[in-house]
Amino acid sequence: MDLINSGYWPVSTSSSTLYSLNLFSSVRELKVIAPALSRQALAKLLEHRTKCGGRSGPVCGDTLQRSFLEFSYCAFEEDSMSCGAPFTCPACTPDMLAISVDGNRKLYRFLRSGSSDSSFFEGAFIAEDTSVSTFVDVLHKAVKQLPGQGRCGSSSWTAAKETSRRTFKLDEEGMEVAVCRPGFLLKALNMFRGEIFAYPMYLHKELMSLKPRFIAMDVMCKYWPYLHKSANILPDLQGLTSTRPFLSVMHATAHSSKCEITWSGKNQEGAGSTAWLAPMKQCGCLM
């Protein structure tokens, strides 16, 4: 406690290595301004500052990462006790222009690896698996599912699915992430059945409290009709149709010309001249 009160964060109980609390506070701010800042880039920056200061010695990236995560968890608990709002974009508060949802199936975990440890930030950013599974089961029981891949023009989209089986030997297949226009992380979930429509719909529902005017996806031409079909059966989903569809500009060129004209964000009134990228491309910290 004496070290912390003096402005230092001990790496271990022996306190053989210390980090400045000002450094960790600056890293937290950098993560807000530049979400894609990696651990390697930060370590190289600190090593460069070390050389400029006439000192020598490498910076251990693993130790730095572990200590920063411990500091972040304590800061999270402190914010929770003071009723702070985590994962809130300063630029999009209080009016959220749009959210973008996309998945990455390469963030998988094998069944043979066993169960993972429980998260310190349970439900804070990554949604609880039980809550997501309940939503998917309710949706699939109420709405008739059409298996198969969706096609638009000459392209076949693996994400354009209403249903999908779990992959053999895999426990978690990846993550579905939602971000705002500046790329600020809003909400995520673990995928167990591929990129089915139920996953982005869950994030869409969870983020409706932010009152976004647009929602962007790479397969919006397939998701939007499915959303309306589901909302006609499940009244709780009616509020999701108040947002406006936005086809990611990066993916629009792979769709048919008619689809690009109808759904592309550059043709949507009020969207401005924004050019959405996929959330997983914006948020390198999750790659």
The domain total for the chain is 2
Q: Report d(CA 216, CA 46) in Å as an integer.
A: 37
What's the rounded Cα separation, in Å, for the pair 218 and 3? 49
Whether 113 and 185 map to the same domain: the answer is yes
**Residue 88 is assigned to a structural domain of this protein:** no
- State the distance between the two ends of the chain, measured CA to CA, in whole angstroms: 35
- 68 and 112, same structural domain? no
Residue 90 lies in a domain: no
| Domain-embedded: residue 132 | yes
Q: Is residue 259 part of a domain?
A: yes
> Could you report the per-residue pLDDT of 110-143, keeping only the tens digit for each?
655 555 555 666 677 889 889 999 999 999 899 8
Q: 159 and 233 share a domain?
A: yes
CA 150/CA 154 separation, integer angstroms = 11
- Dist CA 217 CA 100 (whole Å): 6
pLDDT at residue number 98: 87
Q: Is residue 165 part of a domain?
A: yes
Domain check: are 122 and 63 in the same one?
no
Instruction: Assign 107 a pLDDT band (cuts: 50, 70, 90).
Output: low
Query: Does residue 194 fall inside a structural domain?
Result: yes
87 in a domain, yes or no? no
Residues 151 and 266 placed together within one structural domain of the fold: yes
Residues 75 and 133 in one domain: no
Q: What integer pLDDT is reported at residue 281 of this predicted model?
A: 44
Domain boundary among 21, 48, 81: 81
Domain assignment of residue 188, given as a range: 98-286
Statement to judge: residues 35 and 128 lie in one domain: no
Instruction: Report which of 109, 144, 149 is spatially closest to residue 129, judged by C-alpha positions.
Output: 109
| pLDDT at residue 37 in the model | 79
Residue 129 lies in a domain: yes
Are residues 185 and 271 both part of a single domain? yes
Predicted local distance difference test score (pLDDT) of residue 287: 30
pTM: 0.67
The answer on 269 and 227 residing in a single domain is yes
| Of the residues 81, 109, 140, the one at which a domain ends | 81
pLDDT, the chain, mean: 78
pLDDT single digits (tens) 228-269: 999 999 999 999 999 988 877 666 666 667 777 777 777 777
Same domain for 160 and 224, yes or no, is: yes
Q: How many helices (H) and strands (E) does the chain have?
A: 10, 11
Q: Are residues 25 and 135 in the same domain?
A: no
Domain termination residue (choose one: 30, 51, 81)? 81
- Same domain for 208 and 120? yes
Comparison of pLDDT for 151 and 256, the residue scoring more: 256
